[in-house]
């Protein structure tokens, strides 16, 4: 990242993210603009509960001039490979590790979208990333019909069989521990949130002898 926020707004906040550098050479999380301390005195990049790999031990790139408004902050950064805490012993001197004691309120604030986005609440109608697929199974075999979707806020799910809502089937995965003939039919799922709704394609669960 190359952060250029103003004093009136936040920079980049990464919550529960994965930062994976696949290159042969380690890289940094962010670097300050060349005019940091002059034309771009503010620079905010905050990582909370992120998992890292391929990142330089220093973590952050060089910072020139005044660093009083540089927010290179981390909380609970873990290694992607083993989920152990990242070695912060060589972190850039301009950076800061947040703690759940004195920085509890800061961590809570930066984990809240409305705080970072100045009370603006983003919304996105559900988008299906992976459609359920037709399954053919033998009696007493297990089967899973599944949909993957993205939405803001999280969408509610409702599965249907032959056009009728299935009571209690409100998760992205519709599981059959032991399928039997009565499960034969056409299935689809509707995902809905405050921003809109979408229906998956219709697929079949087929029983075979």
Instruction: Read off the pLDDT of residues 21-68 as tens digits, 9 standing for 90 and up.
Output: 988 899 999 987 665 556 677 889 999 999 999 999 999 988 877 788
Domain ranges of the chain: 12-116, 124-207
pLDDT digits (tens, 9 = 90+) for 103-127: 999 999 999 988 999 888 889 999 9
Least-confidence region, from 5-9, 14-18, 141-145, 200-204: 5-9
For the chain, what is the mean pLDDT? 92
Instruction: Give the number of other CB atoms < 10 A from CB of residue 76.
Output: 17
| Listed range (116-125, 136-145, 183-192) with the worst mean pLDDT | 116-125
Distance separating alpha carbons of residues 162 and 99, to the nearest angstrom: 53
Q: Interior CA angle at 152 toward 53 and 77, to 5°?
A: 20
For domain 124-207, give the CATH superfamily: Immunoglobulins (2.60.40.10)
- Is 77's pLDDT higher than 90? yes
Quote the pLDDT of residue 35: 59
> pTM of this prediction?
0.65
Q: What is the pLDDT of residue 174?
A: 97
Instruction: Work out the percent of the chain whose per-residue pLDDT is above 70.
Output: 97
Can you give the pLDDT at residue 121?
83
Q: In the prediction, which pLDDT does 164 show?
A: 97
Alpha helices in 54-198 (DSSP H): 104-110, 113-116
Q: Is 160 a residue whose pLDDT tops 70?
A: yes
Token pair recorded at residue 168 = 């209690």
Q: Nearest Cα to 196, choosing from 149, 146, 150, 155?
A: 155
Report pLDDT for 34. Answer: 63
């Amino acid at each position: 990242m190359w952060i250029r926020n103003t004093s009136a707004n936040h920079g980049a906040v990464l919550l529960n993210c994965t930062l994976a550098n696949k290159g042969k050479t380690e890289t940094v999380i962010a670097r300050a603009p060349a005019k940091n301390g002059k034309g771009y005195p503010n620079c905010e990049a905050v990582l909370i509960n992120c998992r890292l790999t391929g990142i330089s031990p220093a973590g952050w790139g060089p910072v020139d001039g005044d660093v009083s408004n540089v927010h290179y902050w981390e909380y609970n950064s873990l290694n992607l490979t083993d989920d152990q805490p990242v070695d912060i012993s060589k972190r850039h001197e301009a950076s800061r590790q947040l703690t759940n004691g004195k920085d509890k309120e800061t961590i809570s604030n930066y984990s809240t979208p409305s705080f970072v986005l100045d009370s603006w609440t983003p919304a996105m109608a559900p988008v299906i990333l992976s459609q359920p697929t037709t399954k053919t199974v033998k009696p007493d075999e297990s089967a899973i019909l599944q949909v993957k979707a993205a939405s803001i806020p999280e969408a509610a799910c409702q599965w249907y069989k032959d056009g009728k809502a299935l009571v209690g089937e409100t998760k992205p995965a519709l599981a059959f521990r032991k399928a039997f003939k009565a499960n034969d039919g056409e299935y689809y799922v509707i995902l809905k949130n405050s921003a809109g709704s979408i229906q998956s394609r219709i697929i079949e669960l087929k029983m075979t002898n």
